[in-house]
Structure 1
Amino acid sequence: MFEPGFDQAAGLRAEAPTVGAGLVPVASPAQPARAYEWLCTLAATLSGQGRAVVIVDATANESISRDTRDGAHLGLLRALQDPSIANLERAADGADWLVMPGAQGLRTLGETAQAAGAQAAVSRLLAPFASGVLVLLFAPAFDLAGLLPGLGARALVPVIEQPQSSIDAYGAVKLLHTAGLAPVLAPLASGAPASLQVVVNTVVDTAQRHLGLSLDSWPAASWARRVQAGAIERPRKALNDNNGYHGLVPGGWQAGRASATPTLWS
């Protein structure tokens, strides 16, 4: 350790950083069931590339059952409240990805964001999940705007071949943009690509005209790559936080599930 250019922390710096859980906000349309095919397409693409995927469906209410502890039936609210529920990653029934209802949990996280800011809400949301998991938060744009204001992060807006789609998509874009997020259109063509492109063009033109916003539109083939690159990560505590040597002591920000979840709102 006395060699030139090396010190006691050299080994720690040389280690590959652990990939934490990431959050991908997805705006649900007025009729969420219409976007489930879209949501499953995204999850399947990510899963096919080796990423563990969890869908938190904030358009569905959690069960009050306490029979299981894997998060699937209990939903997001219980996972937030019970520190023993940790490292959630795969569905217990062998499904390709875990799906958790999350309407009540999202409301709780909205209170966290209002009281302590979006970063605290993101940290609390991602705390129950294992490293490397991508959490697709499927929720109304209004709720996403309240949870993640000012982060500037990408938020996906599904565009599907439905008459209501242009209205839903533009409404979501307006809410997300106003809240300081970066909405991006994600069209999924299932039968008539030309008609879907008309919907996309309508939303893009309307956003440019009324919001002065140049919208990106991601083709389905690029979703997995772009989503992984733009996922919101749990904030890391600064190295000069006076929490031990480089913050690497029990009780630090990354020390574990219990310390990562603020107890004030539990």
Structure 2
Amino acid sequence: MPLDSLPLIGTEVELAQIIIEPKVSEKAISETLDRLNTLRDRILNGSSFSSMAILYSEDPGSNRNGGEYKGLKRGQFVKEFEAVAFNLRPGEISKPFKTDYGYHIVQLQVKRGEELDLRHILIKPKVEQSDLDEGKDILDSLRLLIVSGTKSFNEIARKHSADDESKLNGGVLMNPMTTDTRWNLEDLDRNIFYAVDNIEVGEISEATLVREQDGKEIFRIIQLRRRIPPHRANLDQDFTLLKNFVENQKRQEKLMSWVSKKKESTHIFIAPNYRDCQIL
């Protein structure tokens, strides 16, 4: 492969994280259950489940259409949700139950073998400021143990991090696009980018409050493990990237070869507007 055909790689980093999820108070959980039980009673007494979901559900994927999910099959939702939903009778409304997303009530509409149509209402317990303060204090204390040399980052991550995907690996963040530990700076979540932009290799960011896509609030510290300057791709530094690059090229060549052969024996209609297109 000619040198000038090798891709230029921007600045890359290797990172590790520790996440602490503030605990929700028993009071907040109790208030959430009371709200769901009140809504359930209203529905049982004649109120529309759909209207209640539109007004009160905190599930952005279904609240606008009355909490409805159609054609639900096993494996599409978390197991706690499915355990309740698949044991309801048509028309029955569950009692409140918990998943990682919050607390729910579900009404089964139609059951077709192992496929369900249902409505649900999700309410998430609110994290109080005191809960947030406690979560930050915990992470600040853990960070101090690492910075002082009392404990290693890997040890604290394995024992205390709330991120199941990275904790067993000492908090190391894997890049799902490359299955590697390296991240191009341009691909980083902006919160992570700002956390590591002004720290040196080996240093740890301050504990930062982050709101995840599902609305959950967490505290996170990031350790910058390695910074790799911009460079031309090479086998020593970029074996995985080049391997994927070559494999993709071969797949593309095979695909184009197959298309060329099929074009000779396949009738292809090209609309008049596209007959001058050079690609076709």
Structure ranking higher on relative contact order (CA contacts 8 Å, 6+ apart) = 2
How does the TM-score come out when normalised to structure 2? Answer: 0.20
Higher share of residues assigned strand: 2
